[in-house]
Structure 1
Amino acid sequence: MLEALVAMVVLAIGVLGVAGLLLNSSRFSQQASYDTVAMQLATEMAERMRANTAVSGVGAAAEALAPNLYFIDTQTSQLPALTRNPYTTACASTLLSCAQDTARFDVIEWWNRVAAALPGGRAVICRDTVAYNQTSGFSWGCTAAASGRVDDAPIVIKIGWISRLSSKTLGSGADLADMNTRPQIVIVATPGTVN
Structure 2
Amino acid sequence: MRSRAAGFAMLEVLLAIMLLALGVLGGAAMQLTALRTRHQSALLSRAMQLASGLAEQMRANPAQMRLADGANPYLSLRYDALAEPNPAPPAALCFGAGARCDSAELAWFDLYQLKSLVRQGLPGGRAVVCRDRAVWQGGRLRWQCDGGADAPLVIKIGWQHKNPDGSALRDEDGQFAPGVALTVGAAP
If the TM-score is normalised by the length of the shorter chain, which range does it land in? 0.7 to 0.9
CA positional deviation for 1:90:
3.4
* Bigger relative contact order, structure 1 or 2 (CA pairs below 8 A, ≥6 apart): 1
SS at the partner of 1:163? Answer: coil
Aligned CA distance change for structure 1 residues 80 and 56 (closer, same or farther; 3 Å):
farther
**Segments of 4+ moved more than 4 angstroms:** 76-81
Aligned CA distance change for structure 1 residues 32 and 136 (closer, same or farther; 3 Å):
closer
Scaled by the length of structure 1, what TM-score is found? 0.77
Q: 1:161 and 1:7 mapped to 2: Cα distance? A: 44
SS at the partner of 2:156? Answer: strand
Q: Which runs of 5+ in 2 are unaligned?
A: 1-9
Q: Is the CA contact 2:87–2:116 (under 8 Å) kept in the aligned structure 1?
A: no
Instruction: Output one character per residue of 1:12-70: Cα deviation in whole Å (capped at 9) or x when no partner.
Output: 0110111111111111111111111111110000000001111123xxxx328x71111
Greater CA deviation, 79-88 or 98-107?
Answer: 79-88
Q: 1:128 aligns with which of 132, 135, 139?
A: 132
Q: 1:102 aligns with which of 98, 102, 106?
A: 106
Cα RMSD of the aligned pairs, angstroms, is 2.7
How high is the sequence identity, in percent, across the aligned residues? 33
Q: Which runs of 5+ in 1 are unaligned?
A: 92-96
CA positional deviation for 1:167:
3.1
**Rg (Cα) greater in structure:** 2
Equivalences for 1:146-185 in 2 at 5 Å? 150=149, 152-169=150-167, 178=174, 180-185=175-180
Scaled by the length of structure 2, what TM-score is found? 0.80
User: When the two structures are aligned, how many residues end up with a matched partner?
Assistant: 172
